[in-house]
Amino acid sequence: MIPLHSDQVMSAATRKIVVLPGDGIGPEIIAEGRRVLDAVVDSHGLDLTVEEHVFGGAAYDAHGSPLPEMTLDACRAADALLLGAIGGPQYDKAPRELRPERGLLGLRSELGLFANLRPAMLYPELSAASSLKPDLVAGLDIMILRELTGGIYFGGPRGIEVRNGVRTGFNTMVYDENEIQRIAVRGFELCRARHPDGGARLCSVDKANVLEVSELWREVVTAVATDYPDVELSHMYVDNAAMQLVRAPKQFDVIVTGNLFGDLLSDAAAMLTGSIGMLPSASLDKAGKGLYEPVHGSAPDIAGQGIANPLATILSVAMMLRYTLGETGAADAIEAAVSQVISAGVRTADITTPGESSVSTHDMGQAVLDALNS
């Protein structure tokens, strides 16, 4: 179950945070995330150690592997991980097994981070940045819960081989009932936690009209629902869900879905907010340990320019404090500081509207620090 209060999480011993700056804009945005983390460590008297390790393309360059043993060991020993972003065009030609993305998939799988929470919410002041009409998205606050360590991403057999003289690529979408059940339970718990006073709605997304794996998915989710009479469950085919997300996104509350469908739908949901640079995410194991990272990628086109938006990383720090460390007060403080900065009109280039001026990555981080101290 997802820890939501400090009395539900690990004891008060020193907790270890491993920071993985990664590639592209990763190091720049992580620097701001760390400054904000340091600030709440001081102001809230938190007992944390923070260690940085190489990961992704940077680790491939330095050690010939995107997930070196030393980094993996440190991640295993950590209570929570904070990741910038990984990847870049310079790695497209690297052997498939050594590409940065494989490092990320390896980390998810090695640490059992099966529950991926991707919120899509819209700050009222930014509703003009959405490609949808403001009234369709005003007040949007949905959560996509994506299964992250199974499905077609990890299923076998997989490969490319010659069959009857023709090169053939293949992957396998596979879920066993235990995997479906544990993500469904997370979905219902998450839904309930968001709506302690009732009114929680969970939509399970599948392709049960075509795929056997989805047929089982639907059956298991429906069975789990009997333990959660307070949560209203619905089912939707993934093609319809994609359409409904851009037609009337506010009909959703929490969406639970498999790895591939979640990958696609969460990008669409992120874009609804018009500001993918604002969205944090969490990937949790069964005990509440988590990897926290911005939803956006490594943005190699703007890396090194000091203009990336650090708010998704800063909000990922808040999620880490909330979901793994149980430090609700510190998480609330960061989220309030970010809202304050947005209301005050501070904007990085990605969230400006024409005519508005923008600030640097560092200045945005500073604005959040100033708001925290005010």
Active site residues: 153, 207, 239, 263, 267
Taking CB under 6 A as the criterion, which residues in 321-350 touch ligand IPM? none
| Least CB distance to Mg ion at residue 297 (A) | 8
Rounded Cα distance, 183 and 284, in Å? 11
- Work out what residue 23 binds among Mg ion, ligand IPM, none; the CB cut-off runs from 5 to 8 Å by kind: none
Strand 166-170 relative to strand 159-163: parallel, antiparallel, unpaired? antiparallel
- Work out what residue 101 binds among Mg ion, ligand IPM, none; the CB cut-off runs from 5 to 8 Å by kind: ligand IPM
Q: Between 120 and 359, whose beta carbon lies closer to ligand IPM?
A: 120
Question: CA separation (Å) from 68 to 21, 81, 94, 115, 353?
Answer: 14, 15, 16, 24, 42
DSSP state of 125: G
Taking CB under 6 A as the criterion, which residues in 101-130 touch ligand IPM? 101, 104-105
CA angle 29, 316, 139 (to 5 degrees): 110
- Three-class SS of residue 85? strand
| Least CB distance to Mg ion at residue 184 (A) | 22
| Least CB distance to ligand IPM at residue 271 (A) | 13
Contacts of 105 (CB under 8 A, 6+ apart): 153, 154
Residue 200: both structure tokens together: 């929680």
Q: Between 153 and 228, whose beta carbon lies closer to Mg ion?
A: 153
Q: Between 147 and 263, whose beta carbon lies closer to Mg ion?
A: 263
Q: Between 206 and 263, whose beta carbon lies closer to Mg ion?
A: 263
Burial 161-195 (b: 16+ CB within 10 A, else e): eeeeeeeeeeeebebeeebbebbbbbbbbbbbebe
Taking CB under 6 A as the criterion, which residues in 251-280 touch ligand IPM? 263
| Least CB distance to ligand IPM at residue 300 (A) | 13
Beta bridge partners of 202: 233, 254
Rounded Cα distance, 162 and 127, in Å? 50
- Work out what residue 104 binds among Mg ion, ligand IPM, none; the CB cut-off runs from 5 to 8 Å by kind: ligand IPM
Number of residues that bind ligand IPM (CB under 6 A): 4
Rounded Cα distance, 300 and 303, in Å? 5
User: Does 145 sit near ligand IPM (CB under 6 A)?
Assistant: no
Q: Per CB under 6 A, which region of 57-65, 97-105, 212-220, 361-369 contacts ligand IPM? A: 97-105
Binding site for ligand IPM (CB under 6 A): 101, 104-105, 263
